[in-house]
Amino acid sequence: MGPDCNSAAASSLVSEATLRRLLGGMSLFTLLMTVPQILTIWVGHQAAGVSVLSWGAYLLSALLWFWYGLKKRDRNIYLPCIGWIAVNGAVMAGALVYG
């Protein structure tokens, strides 16, 4: 039988504050990982292989999460979405211009 994930010991391993910091750090890291894609498109004028459909779906998702975060008044949701809207929009616009 596996460990009981609902036990007090398991739930206290990672505090909510630690989890929020980890999620915030990962959000920033993944945003920065998109910058090379943006540079390739806008500086190198190369958008070959960039799917407008995929990046459009990512942009729509970021817009929906932004709206949800605003409704919940949760800065941990809506603030990163501002960055995601910007980077997804930059990739998508570049794919339309140079694709």
User: Residue 9: inside a domain, yes or no?
Assistant: no
- With beta carbons less than 8 A apart as the criterion, state whether 67 and 82 touch: no
- Domain containing 73 equals 26-98
| CATH at residue 60 | 1.20.1280.290
Per-residue model confidence (pLDDT) at position 57: 97
Q: How many domains does the chain have?
A: 1
User: Residue 40: inside a domain, yes or no?
Assistant: yes
Per-residue model confidence (pLDDT) at position 2: 59
How many whole angstroms separate alpha carbon 15 and alpha carbon 7? 14
- Which pair of tokens denotes residue 31? 């945003």
Q: What is the pLDDT of residues 32-85, one digit of tens each?
A: 999 999 999 999 999 999 999 999 999 999 999 999 999 999 998 999 999 999
How many whole angstroms separate alpha carbon 58 and alpha carbon 98? 19
Record the pTM: 0.79
